[in-house]
Structures are given as structure tokens and as C-alpha cells.
Structure 1
Amino acid sequence: MDLKTLFEQAAEESKTLSDRPSNDTLLQLYSLYKQATEGDVNVDPPANPFDFVSKAKFEAWAGLKGKTKEAAMQEYINLVGKLKG
């Protein structure tokens, strides 16, 4: 299977994990997914300083700036595989 197919499969599997991952792990999954599908962050940071969830998501994604889509896909696949056990 090619990387994109494995990535899409891992994205589906991430929705059916038996245990809910920690917030840090969820942020990691989110940022890797965004980097793999959209590339470097392409939106403005949240305007509301009290929107902590959006701010954390933005910062996690921005932290992956420069990582290739392929590398992000592979890391996402590896992380979901680890979470599945």
C-alpha cells in the first residue's frame, strides 16, 4: 500500500481507538493530520486569547512548520499504530 492509503486507513482507525488518548496525544494527532493534509499552517492565530483549545491546536500545528507532508503522514501512521497497541 502507498503512504497516502496507509495514512487514510490510520485516520479512520484513530476514530475507533479503544481508549481515549491524552490531550497531548490528541494535539499531536491533530497537528500531524493538519500538516499531512494541508502543509504548513495557513491560517491566522485565534483572535480570542481565552480560546485555549484553538490556541493549543494552532500552536501544535505551527510547531510542525517545515515538516514534509510525507513525514507527517508517516509519523501519524506510527502514532496511531502505537495507540492501537
Structure 2
Amino acid sequence: MSDVNALFEKAHEEVQQLPERPGNLTLLRLYALYKQATKGDVHGDKPGFTDIVGKYKYEAWAALKGTAQDAAKQQYVELVESLKSGDAS
């Protein structure tokens, strides 16, 4: 396993143990980075207007289209580290 993969797995475990729940925009960013890192570019149909949360998740993930999976993993790790140190919310 490469270093970025190991750091990504560790960050994924650590994010679930944060002392404080991040804000909604940060949660969307974490979601989108995780999906891009694990699944690649967004696929499937965009949820309809009745699924507001699904629509926002889809749009956040779609905004990362073209981002390499390793780059998404690195950004995810950096975001989790900033949350742990209290620099982001």
C-alpha cells in the first residue's frame, strides 16, 4: 500500500472520531473528496429536486470531476488534519 493510501485510510478512521462535528459545507467537501478518491468521477443520474441532500452531494462530487484519485486522497487527508488541529470547521 502506498503512503497516500495508508494516510487516507488513517484519515478516514480519524474523521469519525473528531471531538466536534464539522459544518455542513465541510461535511459535503469530505463526502465529495472521499467519493472521488474511492470511486473516481461522478456517475449516475443527478437526484431530482425532491432529494435535496442527494442533489447537494452529487453536485459536490461532480465539482471534483477530473481530479485524480490520489490527489483527492491527499486533499482529504489535508482537510482531516486541519479539522483535527482546529484550523477548519
Instruction: Give the shorter-chain TM-score range.
Output: over 0.9
Pairwise CA distance, 1:43: 1.7
Which contiguous aligned blocks of 4+ residues in structure 1 show a shift greater than 3 angstroms? none
Tell me the number of residue pairs that the alignment of Structure 1 and Structure 2 aligns: 84
Higher relative contact order (CA 8 A, sep 6+): 1
Pairwise CA distance, 1:22: 0.3
Unaligned runs of 5+ in 1: none
TM-score, normalised via structure 1 length: 0.95
Alignment of 1:38-77 (within 5 A): 38-46=39-47, 48-77=48-77
Identity %: 55
Pairwise CA distance, 1:66: 0.3
Unaligned runs of 5+ in 2: none
Q: Give the letter for the 2:54 counterpart.
A: S
Q: Give the letter for the 1:53 counterpart.
A: V
2:18 aligned residue: 17
- Cα RMSD after superposing both structures: 0.9
CA distance in 2, matches of 1:54, 1:31: 12
CA distance in 1, matches of 2:3, 2:44: 29
